[in-house]
């Protein structure tokens, strides 16, 4: 079939559009429970509150249909429809939850399989829409930013307030905010410290093969110990040190709490940061370094003008990996009283309250995604030589 | 001027450069020719202090390089290598301007000079904003030459600069470098293992074997005078043909002569036509044309050369008393 007779996005996008319709029609979109712990009943979107659900469902079907019949070259229309699909997925969830639980403060409504499927299909469509603008970075970023802002605007307008996750949030707003910030501080400061140590260490190890092997033996060893064991193992020496030395105790360091978790995350972050920083330096073509000397650069100039700029993209991708990893691992800090979003998750596990688990997980996923995307952009912007 | 006195380099007990004394007078393109591993690159790298000599002295423009800080020395010497080593994170403009920047030249001067050099090496000015990864091998090599020329150094060191380029592009680069050298008259020490390249480019050739200079002379001397076994074997028995590409039809033809025997083979339409060539054509191509067309004479015209003929006999007599020294 010729290019201009084709309809819809490519294969991926069309799959997304099809799943979008299927999720609205056939899958339970929302779970209703009379109270927090009882098992509940599932509703399809069109089963909700008479006309309201049917209208949402109909709009989503129309969007899906339009995406299928639009000629292939109308990519801008398709991008707009994709954003509309994002909006409808989120908006219909919030509205249905609100109408199911209105006036009943104990009843809970949470996302069902249909919503998750709808969300997944929206991701497929979004990536397909971005692919259609492969040469237009600006528009690609705008698409992502618009989708994110749709979510945040709806969140701040209180559209999701009927959802059980939001009820959990509203009930423990204080705890949530302090734990979320504790989580961020734990992950970012440990990765920050690992960067401050790892990058200069990489420079020190650069072209010192024997020292490199020795250091990497230690760092690798740290990496192979499971996170949970490392936390446990750190309790003993730290507890001992704090009982022995007053100064360590007065710094707030002991076998449990913030510091053992911080140290464990630090050790884990060191590996990818050190590894990438060193690889970045070693990747610089010797011909380029020699050329730098041959045009009359001093050793310092070669280092700052050539080696560092060429190594930096890989260094930052190391920090990016470490940060993503640390955001996830920091959940375990809750097990030894280190705080963070993990404390909500483990509390939810203990109480068999899935909503509480979601309250710990969803922001974590979102935050990790955002920092990862941001650092990814930084890497691309700095990688002028196109080495990555 | 480049001068070395008893220069020796020993790597782990192996003598790479053995007691070499040479002199390249100002404005001369001197070729260091030899098989790989003969120490020619090492010799070159000692001159801009990329490799420290084991013993001996080097003088650049009369000054002992030992007394000049290496950075200053290198900023005054253009250096071109086979794998270019352009800075991948710099645009072509910044790559060319890097030495001037190190010398704290004003930005406008650097830009002006870079654009001038792009013209000189035959790349469009729009290339100034490109990154090295967007260049072909030949283009990158040209930018490498421009970078070496940027700060207008009196001395150029070139280490197989056209070695990694395909044959067609190499010939193109060699031709344009010959043109550039004609106008700039740099003092060049040019390392290669390619006999044709040496015979075509060099004002003088130094033949190296196992760290020593075993023979030296103009390209004509080396072809027409008998050398030792190594030299004969290295230059090969086709060396006279290789030498031909150095000279142009315009240097060897007879002006004002009409074609006597228009002995060109009948063309495909059956009509005999004389082969017309430009005075700028290398003699090697002219000879090749004679062979292909089975004729002993070519008509010469165009490109500012008065009409005339080049015959096989005049070609022979041009070289009869050894190769002429034509600049």
Task: Establish if A101 belongs to a structural domain.
Answer: yes
B306-325 confidence digits (pLDDT tens): 778 888 888 888 888 677 76
Measured CA to CA, the distance from residue B327 to residue B219 in angstroms comes to: 12
Q: What integer pLDDT is reported at residue B299 of this predicted model?
A: 82
Indicate whether A184 and A104 sit together in one domain: no
Indicate whether A178 and A116 sit together in one domain: no
Q: Is B305 left (phi over 0), alpha (psi -120 to 50) or beta?
A: beta
Task: Establish if A388 belongs to a structural domain.
Answer: no
CA distance, residue B285 to nearest chain A CA (Å): 37
Measured CA to CA, the distance from residue A61 to residue B301 in angstroms comes to: 79
Instruction: Find, among B145, B170, B11, the residue nearest to B79 by Cα.
Output: B145
The answer to whether the CB of B235 falls within 8 A of the CB of B291 is: no
Per residue, the 3-state secondary structure of A326-346, as one string, reads HHHHHHHHHHHCCCCCHHHHH
Measured CA to CA, the distance from residue A36 to residue A40 in angstroms comes to: 10
Task: Establish if A167 belongs to a structural domain.
Answer: no
CA distance, residue B81 to nearest chain A CA (Å): 8
The answer to whether B81 contacts A287, with C-beta atoms less than 8 Å apart, is yes
CA gyration radius, chain B: 22
Indicate whether A306 and A187 sit together in one domain: yes
Cβ of residue B129 closer than 8 Å to a chain A Cβ: no
Task: Establish if A289 belongs to a structural domain.
Answer: yes
Domains of chain B in start order, with CATH, are: 2-244 (3.40.50.300), 249-320 (3.10.580.10)
For chains A and B, what is the number of CB pairs under 8 angstroms? 67
Task: Establish if A336 belongs to a structural domain.
Answer: yes
Among candidate residues A104, A130, A162, the one where a domain is terminated:
A162
**Which chain A residues have a beta carbon less than 8 Å from that of B47?**
none
Indicate whether A157 and A181 sit together in one domain: no
B82 to chain A: closest CA residue? A287
Measured CA to CA, the distance from residue B127 to residue B59 in angstroms comes to: 37
Pairing of strands B187-192, B29-33: parallel
**Which chain B residues have a beta carbon less than 8 Å from that of A290?**
50, 81, 85
A382 to chain B: closest CA residue? B89
Among candidate residues A109, A135, A162, the one where a domain is terminated:
A162
> A386 pLDDT band (50/70/90 cuts)?
low
Q: Could you tell me the residue range of the domain that residue A213 belongs to?
A: 173-382
Measured CA to CA, the distance from residue B197 to residue A2 in angstroms comes to: 53
CATH number of the domain encompassing residue A371: 1.10.3720.10
Task: Extract long-range pairs of A1-5: CB within 8 Å, 24+ residues apart.
Answer: A3/A72, A3/A73, A4/A71, A4/A72, A4/A73, A5/A71, A5/A72
pLDDT at B87 over 50: yes
Judge residue A261's burial from the number of C-beta atoms within 10 Å of its C-beta, 0-12 exposed, 13-18 middle, 19 or more buried: buried
With the C-alpha atoms ordered A375, A377, A380, A382, is the resulting torsion angle positive or negative?
negative
For residue B244, give Cα distances in angstroms to B239, B291, B312: 9, 14, 13
In b/e form, how buried is each residue of B129-165, taking b as 16+ CB within 10 angstroms?
ebbbeebeebbbbbbbbbbbbbbebbbbbbbbbbbbb
Indicate whether A144 and A199 sit together in one domain: no
Indicate whether A200 and A327 sit together in one domain: yes
* Phi, psi angle pair for B265, to nearest 5°: -60, 150
pLDDT at A1 over 60: no
The answer to whether the CB of A55 falls within 8 A of the CB of A12 is: no
Cβ of residue A314 closer than 8 Å to a chain B Cβ: no
pLDDT at A250 over 80: no
With the C-alpha atoms ordered B199, B202, B205, B210, is the resulting torsion angle positive or negative?
negative
Instruction: Find, among B94, B82, B172, the residue nearest to B132 by Cα.
Output: B94
> B272 pLDDT band (50/70/90 cuts)?
low
A51-87 confidence digits (pLDDT tens): 888 899 999 999 999 988 888 788 888 899 999 999 9
The answer to whether A294 contacts B88, with C-beta atoms less than 8 Å apart, is no
Task: Establish if A300 belongs to a structural domain.
Answer: yes
Instruction: Find, among B25, B38, B14, the residue nearest to B192 by Cα.
Output: B38
**Which chain A residues have a beta carbon less than 8 Å from that of B133?**
385-386
Indicate whether A252 and A146 sit together in one domain: no
Per residue, the 3-state secondary structure of A76-134, as one string, reads HHHHHHHHHHHHHHHHHHHHHHHHHHCCCCCCEEEECHHHHHHHHHHHHHHHHHHHHCC
Indicate whether A279 and A304 sit together in one domain: yes
Indicate whether A145 and A272 sit together in one domain: no
Q: How many domains does chain A have?
A: 2
Cβ of residue A298 closer than 8 Å to a chain B Cβ: yes
Task: Establish if A168 belongs to a structural domain.
Answer: no
Task: Establish if A199 belongs to a structural domain.
Answer: yes
Q: What integer pLDDT is reported at residue B263 of this predicted model?
A: 47
Residues in chain B: 327
The answer to whether A296 contacts B84, with C-beta atoms less than 8 Å apart, is no
Q: Which of A51-55, A171-175, B195-199 has the highest mean pLDDT?
A: B195-199
Indicate whether A134 and A14 sit together in one domain: yes
The answer to whether the CB of A93 falls within 8 A of the CB of A30 is: yes
CA distance, residue B77 to nearest chain A CA (Å): 8
**Which chain B residues have a beta carbon less than 8 Å from that of A291?**
79, 81, 84-87
Cβ of residue B9 closer than 8 Å to a chain A Cβ: no
Among candidate residues A162, A187, A213, the one where a domain is terminated:
A162
Selected residues 201-220 of chain B with any CB under 8 Å from a CB in chain A: none
Measured CA to CA, the distance from residue B180 to residue B165 in angstroms comes to: 19
**Which chain B residues have a beta carbon less than 8 Å from that of A310?**
88-89
Cβ of residue A192 closer than 8 Å to a chain B Cβ: no
The answer to whether the CB of B91 falls within 8 A of the CB of B118 is: no
Cβ of residue B98 closer than 8 Å to a chain A Cβ: yes
> A36 pLDDT band (50/70/90 cuts)?
confident
**Which chain A residues have a beta carbon less than 8 Å from that of B87?**
288, 291-292, 306, 385
Nearest to B87 among A288, A296, A386 (CB): A288
CA distance, residue B82 to nearest chain A CA (Å): 9
* Phi, psi angle pair for A302, to nearest 5°: -60, -40
Calculate mean pLDDT across residues B37-65. Answer: 92
Mean pLDDT, chain A, rounded, equals 86
Cβ of residue B99 closer than 8 Å to a chain A Cβ: yes
Cβ of residue A287 closer than 8 Å to a chain B Cβ: yes
Q: Structure tokens of B148?
A: 């070496």
B87 to chain A: closest CA residue? A288
Indicate whether A244 and A373 sit together in one domain: yes
A110-127 confidence digits (pLDDT tens): 888 999 999 999 999 999
Indicate whether A30 and A139 sit together in one domain: yes
The answer to whether B81 contacts A293, with C-beta atoms less than 8 Å apart, is no
Cβ of residue A103 closer than 8 Å to a chain B Cβ: no
């Amino acid at each position: 079939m010729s290019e201009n007779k084709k309809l819809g996005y490519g294969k991926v996008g069309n799959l997304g559009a099809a799943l979008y319709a299927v999720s609205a029609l056939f899958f339970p979109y929302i779970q209703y429970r009379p109270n927090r712990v009882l098992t509940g009943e599932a509703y399809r979107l069109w089963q909700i509150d008479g006309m309201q659900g049917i209208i949402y469902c109909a709009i989503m079907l129309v969007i899906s249909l339009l995406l299928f019949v639009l000629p292939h070259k109308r990519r801008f229309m398709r991008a707009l429809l994709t954003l509309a699909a994002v909006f409808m997925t989120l908006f219909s969830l919030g509205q249905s939850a609100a109408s199911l639980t209105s006036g009943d403060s104990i009843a809970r409504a949470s996302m069902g399989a249909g919503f998750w499927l709808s969300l997944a299909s929206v991701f497929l469509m979004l990536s397909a829409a971005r692919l259609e603008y492969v040469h237009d970075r600006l528009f690609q970023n705008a698409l992502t930013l618009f989708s994110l802002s749709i979510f945040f605007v709806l969140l701040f307008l209180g559209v999701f307030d009927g959802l059980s996750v939001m009820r959990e949030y509203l009930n423990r707003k204080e705890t949530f905010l302090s734990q979320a910030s504790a989580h961020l501080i734990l992950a970012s400061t440990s990765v920050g410290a690992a960067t401050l140590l790892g990058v200069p260490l990489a420079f020190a190890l650069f072209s010192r093969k024997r020292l490199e092997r020795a250091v990497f033996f230690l760092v690798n060893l740290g990496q192979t110990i499971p996170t949970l064991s490392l936390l446990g193992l750190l309790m003993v020496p730290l507890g001992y040190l704090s009982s022995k030395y007053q100064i360590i105790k007065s710094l707030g360091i002991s076998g449990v709490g913030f510091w053992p978790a911080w140290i464990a995350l630090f050790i884990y972050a060191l590996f990818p940061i050190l590894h990438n920083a060193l690889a970045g330096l070693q990747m610089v073509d010797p011909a380029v370094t020699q050329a730098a000397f041959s045009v009359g650069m001093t050793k310092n100039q070669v280092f700052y003008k050539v080696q560092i700029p060429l190594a930096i993209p890989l260094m930052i991708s190391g920090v990016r990996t470490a940060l993503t990893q640390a955001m996830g691992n920091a959940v375990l800090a809750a097990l030894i009283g280190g705080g963070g979003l993990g404390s909500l998750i483990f509390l939810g596990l203990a109480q068999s309250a899935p909503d509480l688990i979601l309250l710990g997980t969803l922001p974590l996923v979102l935050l990790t995604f955002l920092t990862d995307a941001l650092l990814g952009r930084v890497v691309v912007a700095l990688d002028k030589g196109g080495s990555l | 001027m480049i001068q070395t006195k008893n220069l020796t380099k020993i790597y782990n007990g192996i003598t790479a450069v053995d007691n070499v004394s040479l002199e390249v007078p100002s404005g001369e393109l001197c070729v260091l020719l030899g098989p790989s591993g003969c120490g020619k690159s090492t010799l070159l790298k000692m001159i801009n202090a990329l490799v420290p000599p084991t013993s001996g002295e080097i003088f650049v423009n009369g000054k002992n390089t030992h007394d000049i800080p290496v950075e200053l020395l290198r900023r005054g010497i253009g250096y071109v290598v086979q794998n270019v080593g352009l800075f991948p994170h710099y645009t072509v403009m910044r790559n060319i301007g890097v030495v001037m920047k190190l010398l704290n030249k004003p930005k406008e001067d650097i830009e002006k000079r870079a654009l001038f050099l792009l013209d000189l090496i035959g790349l469009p000015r729009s290339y100034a904003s490109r990154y090295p990864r967007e260049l072909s091998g030949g283009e990158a090599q040209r930018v490498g030459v421009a970078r070496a020329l940027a700060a207008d150094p009196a001395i150029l060191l070139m280490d197989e600069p056209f070695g990694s380029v395909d044959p067609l592009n190499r010939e193109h680069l060699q031709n344009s470098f010959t043109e550039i050298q004609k106008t700039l008259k740099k003092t060049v020490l040019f390392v290669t293992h390619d006999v044709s390249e040496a015979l075509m480019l060099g004002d003088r050739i130094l033949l190296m074997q196992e760290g020593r200079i075993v023979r030296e002379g103009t390209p004509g001397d080396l072809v027409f005078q008998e050398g030792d076994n190594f030299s004969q074997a290295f230059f090969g028995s086709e060396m006279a043909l290789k030498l031909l590409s150095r000279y142009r039809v315009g240097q060897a033809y007879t002006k004002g002569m009409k074609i006597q025997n228009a002995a060109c083979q009948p063309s495909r339409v059956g009509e005999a036509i004389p082969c017309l060539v430009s005075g700028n054509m290398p003699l090697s191509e002219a000879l090749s044309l004679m062979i292909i067309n089975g004729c002993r004479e070519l008509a010469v015209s165009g490109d500012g050369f008065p009409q005339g003929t080049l015959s096989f006999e005049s070609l022979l007599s041009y070289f009869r008393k050894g190769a002429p020294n034509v600049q």
